[in-house]
Amino acid sequence: MAILVFVESAEGKIKKTSIEAVVYAARVGGDVTAISLGTEVNDTELAALGKYGASKVLNVADDRLNQGVIQAYANVLNQAMNKVGADLLVLANSSLGAPVSARVAIKQDASLVSNVTELPDISNGFVVKRSIYTGKAFANVELTKAKKILAIKKNAAEIRESGGDVPVEEFSPELTDADFGVAITGVDQATGDVLLPEAEIVVSGGRGLKGPENWGMIEDLAKELAAATGCSKPVSDIGWRPHHEHVGQTGVKVAPTLYLAVGISGAIQHLAGVNSSKYIVVINKDEDAPFFKAADYGIAGDAFEVIPKLTEALKAAR
Amino acid sequence: MKILVCITHVPDTTSKISFTDGDQKFDQTGVQFIIGPYDDYALARAVELKEQSGGSITVLNVGGPETEPTIRKALAIGADDAVRVNAEPTDSLFVAQQIAEHAKDAGYDLILMGRESIDFNGGMVHGMVGEILDLPSISPVMTLNVEGDTVKMAREIEGGKETVEVKMPLIAGCQEPIAEWKIPNMRGIMSARTKPLSVVEPVTEEVATSLTRYELPPAKGAVKMVDADNVSELVDLLKNEAKVL
Ligand SMILES: Cc1cc2nc3c(=O)[nH]c(=O)nc-3n(C[C@H](O)[C@H](O)[C@H](O)COP(=O)(O)OP(=O)(O)OC[C@H]3O[C@@H](n4cnc5c(N)ncnc54)[C@H](O)[C@@H]3O)c2cc1C
Ligand SMILES: Nc1ncnc2c1ncn2[C@@H]1O[C@H](COP(=O)(O)O)[C@@H](O)[C@H]1O
């Protein structure tokens, strides 16, 4: 099987979720070509995708693609699928990958499944497991068309290294002005920080923290853990924290190995955004807070006392 | 301005999810259905745009007769008329083709959807309709303002947002804080009863996927409580039991 993998980058580095997509494709089995768009990743970084199972990397070095223009990206991926004769396209289910994959699915007349959580079962047809009802359940779904596209969720494949560097080839698809009809006029993105959707550890605060001025202790704890910070919906609604930190049904769905919730009651809509976490720790002064039922570890106590102590204890245990 | 809002009919966000018929069907027992929360944002923004500059709002749902109360609610919130495509929304491609068929010659300036349905969580239908109709599709959209024939939007990206400009017509998959959810008032509810709701049959039966089986996640074990005066025990558990530090 010929497989194309779309890889995304941030600040010149291939994103972890995209590396997972390469590993995923390699484990499906077949000839894996990775493709990167734009001029922000150098060839050394791209060649190193061989370590994760790519046999070749296509680089579309067009600086108009340094911004994620959905239609242009879809057009490039469509042409790349044709070029390598891909039966399968794999990509991360990201804010760019998802809308792009929907358009490619129509262009290729392909079956598309998003939020895929595991490797496919190809013993009888091509069946994948996907998360539905915002993480409350799964559906096993068969892709019935000849061509297939999978938008995979974080942790769908465990990163492993094997091979070495592979060749990077320039690819120059045809793009017209119409592909760039949507103008991206500005980008406002946190840099340097651990990004919430990709984070391995997340520290989230809720309304129990009383006000934005009390986030210092959350940030200190997050820093000690190299974690990203998140919050509940009311907290971003009132403007204590930026919107992109809002976790839950209507916000970011996180999938860290450790989720620490401080002063969050554990409403079902909040839980919908964290139910893919491996371990959940809840700190809440109310021992009957519903969040404890979804937790692995809990402390019933006042966050203003517990959090500074926890940060100290972590420092001491380093 | 002529606006189409595509709405889903989905279980309330507090619903307990379970399956019947050998894990082939969603169990509707005791479940309340609502307009998808993201679709509700799209509808709320459409109502605001109409209040500002006039025009009309059509809502569309692909679903069986059981979705009509949900459609009437959208009419009560402020849509002018409604279309129901009479079919089970089996997969994203199927739904996208029904929406595209309705919209292709209808002259909509804006087609607003939710960023995703909360049952299927595909996040796919808007992009598919965009490709079928050769229109721009932007998602997830956090703010949307119309200036002349141009629409300015903020699109959420990992860790922030980008600002986007595009000429109408276009398709947007909406999320908060695009507008505040609107609650229908008495007058809205009364008038919704008589607003036109037309029912059309699907144009194609084509699908790209088929369900094999639903599945629930394994049950979570009991929580281990740690004394508030002994936080170092938590550190120890995270380190040596969970092995996450
Ligand atoms: C359609 C819909 C979608 C929604 N989507 C989301 C979503 O995506 N994300 C989301 O988060 N919510 C969402 N909500 C809202 C959700 O229902 C809850 O209202 C919200 O999660 C509550 O936020 P909270 O836990 O921060 O606040 P509260 O419910 O007010 O809880 C505060 C908690 O802090 C504790 N506390 C107080 N003081 C202290 C202290 N000193 N130390 C320790 N603990 C303390 C309290 O015991 C309490 O448990 C949604 C609601 C609806 C209807
Ligand atoms: N059955 C349906 N009827 C009408 N609109 C739908 C339907 N399913 C999905 N949509 C629209 O497409 C958006 C994205 O859905 P999805 O791709 O399923 O996540 C939803 O928020 C709706 O606006």
User: What is the rounded distance in angstroms from the CA atom of residue A173 to the CA atom of residue A137?
Assistant: 40
d(CA B52, CA B45) in angstroms, rounded, equals: 11
Of the candidates A94, A102, A250, the beta carbon closest to that of B176 is on A250
pLDDT digits (tens, 9 = 90+) for A259-270: 999 999 999 999
Alpha helices in B90-197 (DSSP H): 92-103, 125-133, 186-192
A115 contacts in B (CB within 8 Å)?
A: 121-122
The secondary structure element, H or E, covering residue A270 is: helix A268-271
**DSSP per position, B211-235:** EEEEEPPPPP-PPEEE-TT-HHHHH
Ligand 2 center–CA B126 separation, angstroms: 8
pLDDT at A194: 80
CB distance B109 to B3 below 8 Å: yes
CA distance B226 to chain A (A): 5
As beta bridge partners, residue A286 has none
What percentage of chain A carries pLDDT values higher than 70? 100
Give the tokens for residue A256. 């860290």
Written as six digits, the tokens of B149 are 């024939």
A98 C-alpha to ligand 1 centroid (Å): 29
pLDDT at residue A198 tops 90: no
What ipTM was assigned to the predicted interfaces of this complex?
0.94
**Residues A92-111: what's their mean pLDDT?**
97
Which segments in chain B show pLDDT lower than 50?
A: none
Residue among B109, B120, B140 nearest B42 (CA)? B140
Find, in chain A, the residue whose alpha carbon is nearest to that of B166. Answer: A182
Omega into B65 within 30° of 0, i.e. cis? no
Kindly indicate the confidence band of residue A189, based on its pLDDT and cuts at 50, 70 and 90: confident
User: 3-state DSSP call for residue B112?
Assistant: strand
Interface test with A, best of B101, B176, B231 (most A CBs within 10 A): B231
Chain B hits for A75, CB-CB cut-off 8 Å, are: none
Q: CB distance A140–B214 less than 8 Å?
A: yes
Ligand 1 centroid to Cα of residue A109, in Å, is: 43
Instruction: For residue B224, count other CB atoms closer than 10 A to its CB.
Output: 15
* pLDDT mean over A53-70: 96
Collect all residues with Cβ–Cβ distance below 8 Å to B230 and sequence separation of at least 6. none
* Angle of CA points A197, B145, B172, to nearest 5°: 50
* Helix and strand element counts for chain B (H, E): 6, 15
- CB contacts of B14 in chain A (<8 Å) are 268-269
A248 token code pair? 């839950």
Q: What is the CA radius of gyration of chain B?
A: 21
Q: What is the pLDDT of residues B133-171, one digit of tens each?
A: 999 999 999 999 999 999 999 999 988 899 999 999 999
- pLDDT of res. B159: 84
Give B116 Cα–ligand 2 centroid separation in angstroms.
6
Q: Which residues of B fall within a CB distance of 8 Å from A275?
A: 217
A136 pLDDT higher than 70? yes
Average pLDDT on A266-286 reads 96
Predicted local distance difference test score (pLDDT) of residue B219: 86
